[in-house]
A and B are shown apart, each in its own frame.
Chain A
């Protein structure tokens, strides 16, 4: 019973961070900041839910294979997410997308003046 409560709490924390990230994606002013906010969903949002699912798989379902699969899912998201995020941001910058309000510090533009 206690384990169920802890698992539910972890999933709730994950959901709170996922909500924060979603609000950020909608309300942030420029594409780069939006990508930043979306990282919240993919890291702690996902991690909270996965930890909850892991506790559930170990103590309620008592199934080692389900627990390991949860770990593998978390690991795969952690490996693939930064690669995709990096590619999207760099692609957007190279494509010429700039925030409406110019960035105060922009070393990338200074060094690779386009």
Chain B
């Protein structure tokens, strides 16, 4: 079990408190104090599960803007293309599919970056991350792909090329 560190508690507290403000949406002092107490308790108990390294990473405005740019611009564009493709397959009888599981090398180093990329791939219709494996220092994803047209590096470029580029700016 990892130890609870002060920066991790602080970061978790800030996120919890922001969430409280969003859900509660009232700025009376007594509600703010109640929210602060609850957030602090939650942060003390759960910080060690959430944050293992570099607690202040996202309180840097440039990274925050890049992350927002990824989730608000790069990702929706990919999402739209994949969704239109998937909807076409569904409306034309679900017969022109060629499913398979491909192994794809990934260059992201950070655990959080890898998790974000895996989630982005799973959210895109047509691709779905099964597993993450590490062999000889290189990380690989096993991805179920609805229409296999390539393998290895080429498959990686087709599936996650733009997504990975977007996330690299945030985690490096």
Contacts and interface: CB of A to CB of B under 8 A. Distances in A.
Q: Most A CB atoms within 10 A — which of B25, B83, B102?
A: B83
Contacts of B65: none
Nearest to B127: A36
A52 interface: no
Contact of B87 (A17, A30, A108): A17
Contacts of A29: 94, 97
A35 interface: yes
B166 interface: no
B131 A90 contact: yes
Nearest to A34: B94
A107 B142 contact: yes
A70 B18 CA distance: 16
Nearest to B19: A72
Contacts of B114: none
A89 B126 CA distance: 13
Interface string A82-108: 110110011001000001000111111
Nearest to A106: B101
A58 interface: no
Interface stretch (B29-37, B49-57, B117-125): B117-125
**B-side binding surface: helix, strand, loop or mixed?**
mixed
Given A37-B86, A72-B22, A93-B130, A104 B122 contact: no
Nearest to B120: A82
B129 A86 contact: yes
A61 interface: no
Interface residues of A, number: 46
Contact of A33 (B25, B87, B97): B97
B128 A35 contact: yes
A20 B23 contact: no
A3 interface: no
B25 A86 contact: no
A39 B128 contact: yes
A83 B119 contact: yes
B130 A21 contact: no
B148 A105 contact: yes
A81 B123 contact: yes
A4 interface: no
Contacts of A103: 99-101
Interface of A: 16-17, 20-21, 23-24, 27-30, 32-33, 35-37, 39-40, 42-44, 47, 64-65, 68-69, 71-72, 78-79, 81-83, 85-86, 89-90, 93, 99, 103-109, 111
5 contacts: A37-B90, A69-B23, A107-B142, A107-B151, A108-B130
